[in-house]
Amino acid sequence: MRRFSILPILAFAATLPLGAQFQIRLNPKTDQAFEDYRKAVEAKLDGHPRFPAGLKPGQIEIVPATDKGFTDVKDGMVHDWIAAIVVPGATVDKAIAVLQNYADYKNIYHGDVSDSKLLSHDGDLWHIYLRMVKKKVFTVVLNGEFDVQYRPLGNNRWSVISRSTRIAELDGDRELPPGTSRGFLWRINAYWLIEPRPEGVYLECRAVSLSRAIPFGLGLAEPYLTSVPRESLQSTMEATLRALR
């Protein structure tokens, strides 16, 4: 009897817009878990490359920073991936110029970013806006704001830390309140290392992001939540490589 009594409920859910089917609110404990993870990551940043030697120029290497590339937290998942590449013939100055060309991100990272602009700039701190788009099973569009800080490490080496300060999902033309969404992306930070190499310039990016946990009974969300963080980092590195070439 229970099996049949639930069918009308499922049928009704299937008629609702996808956002209405499983919108959730970011749990403060989930947010705090990400903050704790972020602080632990940043406390260990030492300016040393993950791949000090052996990378084939032009070849992107991407590995999970944890065993699976994600860590389960209260009502969420923290995703953590590291990518690196040596761009032949490129320079540190050119790499920084590409990364700081925020107004052109919509062209440099076309497909993943549909709009971009610099909101403010004060010394080594930049505040930027990106409209991010990702299509895989679902199409997700998000308005994001980020604080980005550039830190010289000496010997023409640089660290760049980008932290999301606001992410809001769009439902059509309507922006949902931050923290109230389908939960595919609540936070995303990026940690870049840039250094000269004899072959060109070494770029390393560690992306740490927060999403909801996989919803029970909604297996369609699993490939998005588990594979998109890695694929997004791969796409970012490929686009940066093209811009530097």
Output the six-digit token pair for 214. 């996989």
The third-level CATH classification (topology) of the domain covering 26-244 is: Alpha-D-Glucose-1,6-Bisphosphate; Chain A, domain 4 (3.30.530)
Q: What is the pLDDT of residues 198-239, one digit of tens each?
A: 999 999 999 999 999 876 555 555 666 678 899 999 999 999
For residue 135, what pLDDT is reported? Answer: 84
Burial zone of 57 (CB within 10 Å; 0-12 exposed, 13-18 middle, 19+ buried) = middle
Alpha-carbon gap, residue 14 to 127, rounded angstroms: 40
pLDDT at 84 over 60: yes
Sign of the torsion formed by the C-alpha atoms of 158, 36, 230 and 149: negative
Q: Which residue has the higher pLDDT, 63 or 220?
A: 63
Tell me the sheet residues that pair with 88.
200
- The model carries a pTM of 0.88
* Whether 144 contacts 132, CB under 8 Å: yes
For residue 113, what pLDDT is reported? Answer: 97
